[in-house]
Amino acid sequence: MNKIIFSGYDTFHSAGFVIDAPDGYDYYLFLLTRTPGLFRVNGEMRQIPAGSAVLYPPGTPVMYRACGESYGDDWIRFESDEDFVRNFPKPSEPFPVSDVDYCHNLVQLLTWESAMGQYEGAISQLFHILFYKLENDYLHHESAAHDQELLTLRKSIMNNPQHDWSIADMAKQLHLSMGYLQSLYKKKFGVSCMDDVIRCRVRRAKDLLTNTDETVLSIASQCGYNNVEHFCRQFKSVCGTTPKNYRSDVRKSPEE
């Protein structure tokens, strides 16, 4: 359920405009900036460009003000129990919107639908479209911001597949939530974190099976597996054959 309390678009204020709510509000506040503005983000004031969006959940501090002759935005004050709103990544942090006019038009439509008391389903659908667009923009922005960290993590996985990797440890290393890390990693590399770990472990195992006489038990251990049966199951799932048969096949001569 999404209930609009009040909303507006193309709202402009004078140079002295300030909103300062240390305890936040009892509702969500969504803003789409039409001019630059000064926003408090993580305890410091930052100039945020026009065409940025920010979502403030209930009870979170809100502080922003004009930084020029005027400040303008589109805005929605609303209540929601929808997961796509409650789980929106990194609330209270402004981020750039790729198609400002598109989001502006959605806020217009939401304002009109709410003012005219139209069908609740229309408002719900418009909210879904708006937040789908916003989340895609945010993830694209954040993915670019975390590119180097993600590349460093992936190199570490490739060089040390035997490490006891876990989503929790990876997320802690990058100072991200587990769900958010998995979303960024999949978007960046086209594979989940743990599937990448498995692929790297199997690649290391294939090299050892081909070029050494180590036992399957020893190779499993060197590739990060404490259980040889688990290693064999994952190897077969990826390669379509067991480690023993793989070694036998790659060592056959062409004549055979």
Place of tokens 């065409």: 51
Closest C-alpha among 67, 60, 25 to residue 41: 60
Res. 1: pLDDT tops 80: yes
Res. 230: pLDDT tops 80: yes
DSSP letter string, 114-155: HHTT--HHHHHHHHHHHHHHHHHHHHHHHHHHTHHHHHHHHH
When pLDDT is cut at 50, 70 and 90, the band that residue 98 belongs to is: confident
pTM to 2 decimal places? 0.59
Quick: pLDDT tens for 111-165.
Answer: 999 988 766 788 999 999 999 999 888 877 766 667 778 888 999 999 999 999 9
Token couple for 177: 């939530």
Strand pairing category for 37-41 and 95-96: unpaired
SS3 label, residue 43: coil
For all residues of the chain together, what is the average pLDDT? 92
What letter represents residue 91's amino acid?
P
Place of tokens 């743990």: 194
Res. 253: pLDDT tops 60: no
Res. 255: pLDDT tops 50: no
Check: CATH 3.40.50.1950 for 2-145?
no
Residue 144: per-residue pLDDT: 67
C-beta separation of 58 from 27 below 8 A: yes
**80 CB neighbour count, 10 Å cutoff:** 20
Res. 254: pLDDT tops 60: no
Give domain limits for the chain: 2-145, 146-256
Strand pairing category for 37-41 and 44-48: antiparallel
By CB neighbour count within 10 A (0-12 exposed, 13-18 middle, 19+ buried), where does 149 fall?
middle
Q: Classify domain 146-256 by CATH architecture.
A: Orthogonal Bundle (1.10)
Res. 256: pLDDT tops 70: no
Strand pairing category for 2-14 and 52-56: unpaired
Same fold, 2-145 and 146-256: no
C-beta separation of 28 from 56 below 8 A: yes
DSSP letter string, 154-209: HHHHHH-TTS---HHHHHHHHT--HHHHHHHHHHHHSS-HHHHHHHHHHHHHHHHH
Quick: pLDDT tens for 184-228.
Answer: 899 888 999 999 999 999 999 999 999 999 999 999 999 999 999
Residue 140: per-residue pLDDT: 75
More confident residue, 194 or 253: 194
